[in-house]
Amino acid sequence: MELTQRRAKLATMYYIRRFIDATLEKVILKLYEAWGTLSEADQRRIREKEGQLAEGIRNAATAFERGMKIDAFLREIEAIDGVLEVAFDELLEGKTSEVFRNAGGPQQSVADRLVRMLDENPMTYAATQAIPKGFDFDEIEMAVEEESSLSGMSVAQSEAETTVPLFTKVDFPAKIESTSAEEHPLVVQLVLDRPESSRVDAGLTFRFQDPQIPEMVEVAVTAPGFHERTGVWTRTIAVYSYTDSQPAIFLLKLADTEQKPQPITVDFYHKGRNVGSFTFQTEITGRLFTLPPGGPPTEDGERVTLGTASPVRALGGIRLPTGSPTPPVDVELRITRAGKKLLFTLHSARAAVGYHWRSVGSIELDGLDDPMKFFEHNVTILNQLAERPIQGLSAADAQDYQDELANMGYELYTQLFPPELRQEYWKLLALRDRIRQEEKREMSLLITSDEPWVPWEMVKPYEDDDRDSDFLAGAFQLSRWLAGRGPMEELRISAVQVVAPNLDLDFVKDEQTFFGSLSGRGIQVGAPIVTHREVLNVARNGGVQLLHVATHGNFNRQQVNESPIQLEDKDLFPRDFNKMTAKGLLRDRPLVFFNTCHAGRLGFDLTGPGGWAQRMVDECGVTAFIGSHWAIHDRLAALFSRTFYTELLDGKTLGAAFHAARLTIREKQPANPTWLAYTLYGDPNSRIEWM
């Protein structure tokens, strides 16, 4: 049989997972026996892939992961001519034409032996080993029949994409004694049926391109009040289309014995991207007693360690992307809130970056019963600066205004960045410079947070040894996201709606003119709408993938969901939008741009973060939301939006287009803080396709 025929035959078959370790050993030993007959090029390729496999097996946390690594390795070496000439029979013997659901893989002791084999010199290892016996073909046939009866589908059927609703099941004690020295298991699992025992209502829709192949999801936990037995706060689980996922189990022991609620945050990552988060809390109490059947509590009492902790922030509709999603961000700064404390973690899916859930400190917001007070004075100053003319400024005044902005940014840096994060920041700058030089692009930085009020864009790092940095908004392609539902990775725009009441904003007409020009590109652009009813009709009925609002806005710090957007007949409020009134937005997941003052600001309502950004991201599930933290200048606002959309039309990513627009208005007038006011909630690597 010729090589092309051998390769084609293997390509139509699947490795039998329960025998995959034996298949690997037979293939490697066969190759080692014939090592001298292989070309130097084939030897190099085999050794390179063996090294990668050995490293993958060492780092794998479960037998399933080890099986996945071996399966991928065997498929890769099928492409090497020398392998097909020498070990075709061994490869073929380990395969079947049936699709198996069995997710097998070698246990740790077997894996250790395989790694030693992969690390050995091929010329000396084969001479000391016996080739494993052939497989028991009766056992294989029985396995094929067993697995086929379980699956109930053919290979052709398995190629169809399958959409599966899953639910988050969380088990952890509702209450823990402050004196408890026990380890309490936190169990997180994605299950097919809505669990009765879990009160964390975080559903997700998972689309499998191949329902027979599971997807790997990383579960990351932040629990500042606890120790974890292994010190490792992440687990990788396999998510299936046909059964419940593997459980992620963390063994937590109480570290903070103060009698108060302790928050625990769980983040899901798929292919390097944050696809969802939720936070719950457990009560730390005095001694607990339960009544055993038939009598009063025992002398020692019975500790309550079972139950489900109360959810604090948990969203439905988490969505895991299919296929090959957009690349994950270069670095994510995850900020979790525990009372008055902010905890910081750096994470990157790029192995070369070196951040894998690296804790970089925490800060205590001591004495701030209302954290909004922390920044309210600065907002007043920024509003005044934004309202000043952008033309005719003297050089001295322009420099004074820029110095004032820099001082505010530096104060935020010293008060909000813990020492560990300050130390790592300069490494991030070095990484940015390397990406600029080697990859000819800007570095993306995503801030995913539970806090709603800090203008991270305005942080300006500086150290006493004269290490100086631009504002975060200038140094990186910076975007934000609210922990909860993960951001979307792509959007196709075919219909646009502009909200532009006839008020006293002269440059809104420029924006209307720009959107009118999109019709020539085949984009459907509705006539500008101006009334409260018209906006709610769009939110309810949908049919648009871009909603642009250009008008006045304001911020109500006492009641953030009473922060109005001005229309011609009456004001529009965040409370006007919810899952019932905004069904169209929830279905279409549009890009929403509020080119108004204060639309990006958030505060705390009675139950959590509130404001326009929260409503659009959480309630309406938009792909991305753009707003501002403070007043923005009319002329600069029009220039910003025009530049942003032009860059998107030219094929730039969401983050690249947003950053280019920011720098454009900064160049126009760096003394005006409008360029810093804008905030983007979304994945900076999202792709926008215009249809």
Number of alpha carbons in the 13 Å side-chain half-sphere of residue 200: 35
Quote the pLDDT of residue 125: 57
Quote the pLDDT of residue 221: 92
Q: Which domains does the chain have, with CATH numbers?
A: 3-151 (no CATH), 162-325 (2.60.40.10), 370-480 (no CATH), 487-690 (3.40.50.1460)
Q: Is the pLDDT higher at 602 or at 456?
A: 456
Quote the pLDDT of residue 650: 92
Confidence check: pLDDT of 430 > 90: yes
Quote the pLDDT of residue 331: 94
Alpha-helical segments (H) within 174-297: none
Distance CA 567, CA 535 (A): 9
Which stretches does DSSP call E strand in 559-681?
591-594, 603-604, 609-610, 624-628, 678-681
Confidence check: pLDDT of 249 > 60: yes
Distance CA 614, CA 279 (A): 16
Q: What are the backbone angles phi and psi of residue 165, rounded to the nearest 5°?
A: -80, 130
Number of alpha carbons in the 13 Å side-chain half-sphere of residue 235: 20
| Token digits of residue 506 | 């002269």
The torsion angle over the Cα atoms of residues 653, 657, 663 and 665, rounded to 10 degrees, is -170
| Token digits of residue 94 | 């380990």
Give the percent of the chain with pLDDT over 90.
Answer: 25
Task: Name the pLDDT band for 84 (thresholds 50, 70, 90).
Answer: very high
Distance CA 201, CA 394 (A): 57
**Buried b or exposed e, range 294-311, using 16+ CB within 10 angstroms:** eeeeeeeeebbbeebbeb
The contacts of residue 90 (CB under 8 Å, 6+ apart) are: 23, 26, 27, 30
The torsion angle over the Cα atoms of residues 571, 575, 581 and 586, rounded to 10 degrees, is 110
At residue 188, the 3 state secondary structure works out as strand
Quote the pLDDT of residue 118: 86
| Token digits of residue 467 | 């290490």
The contacts of residue 225 (CB under 8 Å, 6+ apart) are: 254, 255, 256, 262, 263, 284, 338
What is the mean pLDDT of the segment spanning 665-677?
89
From residue 285, give the alpha-carbon distance in Å to each of 104, 178, 254, 288.
43, 6, 12, 8
Number of alpha carbons in the 13 Å side-chain half-sphere of residue 248: 26
Quote the pLDDT of residue 280: 85
Quote the pLDDT of residue 563: 56
What residues are paired with 289 via a beta bridge?
none
What is the mean pLDDT of the segment spanning 397-407?
88
What is the mean pLDDT of the segment spanning 40-58?
91
| Token digits of residue 642 | 């025009």
Summarize pLDDT for 85-137 with one digit per residue, the tens.
Answer: 999 988 988 887 654 434 567 877 788 888 888 887 776 654 455 444 444 44
Q: Is the pLDDT higher at 448 or at 292?
A: 448
Query: Ramachandran region of residue 479, left (φ > 0), alpha (ψ -120 to 50) or beta?
Result: beta
Confidence check: pLDDT of 157 > 50: no
Confidence check: pLDDT of 645 > 70: yes
From residue 246, give the alpha-carbon distance in Å to each of 191, 307, 309, 359, 399.
9, 20, 21, 26, 59
| Token digits of residue 518 | 């999109």
- Distance, C-alpha 85 to centroid of its chain: 44
Closest CA to 555 of 538, 574, 539: 574
Distance CA 308, CA 310 (A): 7
At residue 650, the 3 state secondary structure works out as coil
The contacts of residue 451 (CB under 8 Å, 6+ apart) are: 335, 337, 342, 371, 609
Q: Is the pLDDT higher at 442 or at 613?
A: 442
Distance CA 248, CA 271 (A): 17
Quote the pLDDT of residue 328: 85
| Token digits of residue 80 | 């090497």
Alpha-helical segments (H) within 34-94: 40-59, 63-77, 81-93
Q: What are the backbone angles phi and psi of residue 453, rounded to the nearest 5°?
A: -125, -15
Quote the pLDDT of residue 617: 86
What residues are paired with 282 via a beta bridge?
262
Quote the pLDDT of residue 353: 82
**Buried b or exposed e, range 601-635, using 16+ CB within 10 angstroms:** bbbbbeebbbbbbbbbbbbbbbbbbbbbbbbbbbb
Positive or negative CA dihedral for 510, 512, 513, 514? positive
Q: Is the pLDDT higher at 618 or at 154?
A: 618
Closest CA to 503 of 456, 566, 460, 564: 566
**Residue 618 DSSP code:** I
SS3 labels along 346-391: EECCCHHHCCCCEEEEEEECCCCCCCCHHHHHHHHHHHHHHCCCCC
Summarize pLDDT for 1-45 with one digit per residue, the tens.
Answer: 788 888 888 888 888 777 788 889 889 988 988 888 999 899 999
Check: CB of residue 678 under 8 Å from CB of residue 626.
Answer: yes
| Token digits of residue 690 | 């215009």
What is the mean pLDDT of the segment spanning 52-69?
84
From residue 32, give the alpha-carbon distance in Å to each of 15, 134, 248.
21, 18, 39
Overall size of the chain counted in residues: 691
Distance CA 537, CA 579 (A): 14
Distance CA 473, CA 288 (A): 50
